[in-house]
Structure 1
């Protein structure tokens, strides 16, 4: 029996109110413990890297991640995803995003993401559509972002509660409906109070703020779109909001800081110690933070 496609997994998650965690890989030795933890908990998860993971960390390249993933992939439990490919990056530089999307398709990635959230609405639609055409021609789904999930910027952010109360950068429900209909995206990353972890050398080791989510706002987005929604910046969000978001269209949650920081803290003791730290952190995320152990029974019974 063939395994479910990535798009089938996401649709099933959205329908069942179960979330698929997606784990960022800034260091290649993290791949093995990430895959092992997903398997050992009988769950389903995505292994992924964003452009910043090879630009600012040590993934090397999207091809290097694919090669490492190929050694331990488990189709009954895992898929390979390309996270944030920005059109304009966190340093306000223009990126040849289509070249990166094409490389991921050629390397065998099973889903990709283009991020035009720093563009105007019309430009975001146009760039997403261009990338979607390439992804769909290869038979894989594409994620896009509308609104501003902050945290990766180099400068200081306003206090979190000020950001949350103002709704600054939140995804507009009416725009989300238009965007989903015009851009060709299969999944939509939304901004509803979630923030990315810091990536600067000075701040990347700091604990993330305990973020909240505006569930009423999320519900309005969910009701205006007919596609799975994605939550970036999953580390640090209070659990009650995470669990509630699954009932309102969130089918994928990105996790980075929760497994990166344990690796960085343990690496001085060697690769094996760092890998064990990642594995232990993964178990906490899967079993306690998200409660998605045994999700493979629902999402990928074919496996």
Structure 2
């Protein structure tokens, strides 16, 4: 069945683990993710960006997710990732999503509150939950493109007023993660601002926090891509031990997208390199889907700690 993330987050906060929010845009990715969730009995959030919605179309994605629910029997939350305005949030709410993110981080604090509250008011009338954002992550992912110069850490001094004024159900913060596969410069030691997370947790006790841009850029998949014609020698992600630490704190939702792309691409490239005569999409998409399933199961068990927590 389709569910909101409200109960998921309550249990995750109390249990000291996080829920994986995995971006989807085609059948094979949805199948790989949901099969892994079923195998590990993990709660699950499937999230859709504006770019994915444009590529696959809203109706196709919803029907694929409905099929996944029927196939696995799992409760699944469907979430809009980085909604940039009220209109796209409204469209997704009206179209069956159970959760939306309104990303007003590019606006002033006052305008961010105004826009976020507008979405919250509409969503809550429909029984849909809302994620807001304070602080700006650097990097590129679909329509999100923020330079390092324009990025900013979340100010813990603003979180209480923001949550109180908007009524949001969860809050995405910026503590050093970033979108894309190049999260840190070559030679730069990956580091997250856990001091900011700790201060936010003190100011918002029991409130679910979200990390965006949290792919670890698995070296195995990067190496496989490079072996078969890629050029990603400087791809560096967030160390998994840091994500585990965040999951034990106030972080209840960790977004993963780039790792899925890398896993799928690595499987497809390897297969086509080893079988250049194959032209049937079923032949080369199958190893991509298998990589997705293995990756997501690994994340759920060894990073998020949410295995066995499906309800």
TM-score for the superposition, normalised by structure 2: 0.79
Q: CA deviation at 1:4?
A: 7.0
Distance 1:22 1:36, change over 3 A: same
Question: Which 4+ residue blocks in structure 1 deviate beyond 6 angstroms?
Answer: none
Q: Which residue does the alignment assign to 2:60?
A: 64
SS at match of 1:267: helix
Deviations 1:145-198 (A, max 9, x none): 10011112657647xxxx9xxxx6111111111101101211000001111115
Q: Structure 1 regions of 5+ residues with no counterpart?
A: 87-96
Distance 2:292 2:27 in 1: 12
Q: Which residue does the alignment assign to 1:172?
A: 155
Q: Structure 2 regions of 5+ residues with no counterpart?
A: 217-237, 272-283
Distance 1:240 1:176 in 2: 26
Please say if residues 195 and 211 of structure 1, whose CA atoms lie closer than 8 Å, have aligned partners that are also in contact.
no
Q: CA deviation at 1:118?
A: 0.5
Please say if residues 3 and 76 of structure 2, whose CA atoms lie closer than 8 Å, have aligned partners that are also in contact.
no
Pairing partner for 1:118 from 106, 129, 133: 106
Q: Which residue does the alignment assign to 2:179?
A: 196
Q: Quick check: 1:295 aligned with 2:309?
A: yes
Q: CA deviation at 1:36?
A: 0.8
Distance 1:267 1:33 in 2: 14
Please say if residues 26 and 260 of structure 1, whose CA atoms lie closer than 8 Å, have aligned partners that are also in contact.
no
1:153-302 paired onto structure 2 within 5 Å: 154=145, 157=148, 169-197=152-180, 211-226=190-205, 227-236=207-216, 237-267=238-268, 269=271, 270-296=284-310, 300=311
Pick the structure with greater CA Rg: 2
Q: CA deviation at 1:248?
A: 2.5
1:3-82 paired onto structure 2 within 5 Å: 5-54=4-53, 58=55, 60-73=56-69, 74=72, 76-82=74-80
Deviations 1:7-40 (A, max 9, x none): 1111221122111110011334211111110110
SS at match of 2:68: coil
TM-score for the superposition, normalised by structure 1: 0.80
Distance 1:100 1:191, change over 3 A: same
Q: Which residue does the alignment assign to 1:102?
A: 90
Please say if residues 215 and 241 of structure 1, whose CA atoms lie closer than 8 Å, have aligned partners that are also in contact.
no
Q: Quick check: 1:128 aligned with 2:116?
A: yes
Q: Which residue does the alignment assign to 1:90?
A: none
Q: Quick check: 1:139 aligned with 2:113?
A: no
Please say if residues 239 and 290 of structure 1, whose CA atoms lie closer than 8 Å, have aligned partners that are also in contact.
no
Distance 1:100 1:77 in 2: 24
Distance 1:75 1:233, change over 3 A: farther
Distance 1:53 1:210, change over 3 A: farther
